[in-house]
Amino acid sequence: MTPDYGAAAGALIGALAALVVVVAVTVRWATSERESRTRIVKFARLAAMAAIIAMLYFGLFDHTPRGTECQKSTSPNGFYKAERCLLDWIPGGSSRYVGRVFDAKNGKLLAQHTFSTPVPDLSWSSGVLYSLDPDGPLRYFGATVGFSKGDGGDDSTYISLPPSRWERLLAARPRL
C-alpha cells in the first residue's frame, strides 16, 4: 500500500533547494566584505521565506487532477464508494489513473492513489488468507479495493480498507 508521494516529493525538492541556498549564502558570507554582508542577510531571509512558502504549497495542497472517464462502484457492505479516473491515456501502454475511496454516508474523500496500469479495473476484495510456504503460518491480507487487473507495477493499484490515518491525512488536504 503506497500513498501518493507527489506532495512529499515536492516538499523534498523545496528542502533541497533551501539547502543549496544556505550553502551558497554561507560561501558568499565567508568571502565577502562587511558592507555586502547586509545584502547577503537580506537575500538569505528572502530565499528562506520563498523556500518555506514553496514547501508549504507542495506539502499542504492536493495537486492531483480530477481525471476523466470515471468509473464508480459501491463496496459490497455499503460502507465505501470507489472511483477510478483516467489522468493520462497512453495507447498500448500503461495509462495513468487516480483511484479514490469515499465514505458512502457523507461522500468524504478518505484516500487516493495515482498509478499506471495497462488493464484498469475496479474490484472489491474482502481479504484473503495466504501462506508463503506450504507448512508456514497463514497470514491475512485485509479488505481492499483494487483499481487494476493483475499487477499494475506497484502496490498503489489498491487501497486497504479502512484507509490508514496517513492516507486519510493526505486525502484531507485542500485541492487547488
* Mean pLDDT per 10-residue interval, the chain, length 176 residues: 53 74 75 71 81 76 80 90 89 84 93 84 82 80 79 68 87 77
pLDDT at 150: 64
Quickly list DSSP for 59-104: HHSB-----EEEEEEE-TTSSEEEEEEEEE--TTS-EEEEEEEEET
Instruction: Tell which residue, 3, 7, 31, has the closest CA to residue 176.
Output: 7
Q: What is the pLDDT of residue 79?
A: 92
In the numeric block, which cell numbers belong to residue 154? 506497484
Closest residue by Cα to residue 82 from 30, 146, 127: 146
**Count of C-beta atoms within a 10 Å radius of residue 158:** 21
pLDDT given at position 97:
87
* Rounded to 5°, angle at Cα 114 from 94 and 145: 95
Give the separation between CA 83 and CA 3, rounded to whole angstroms: 16
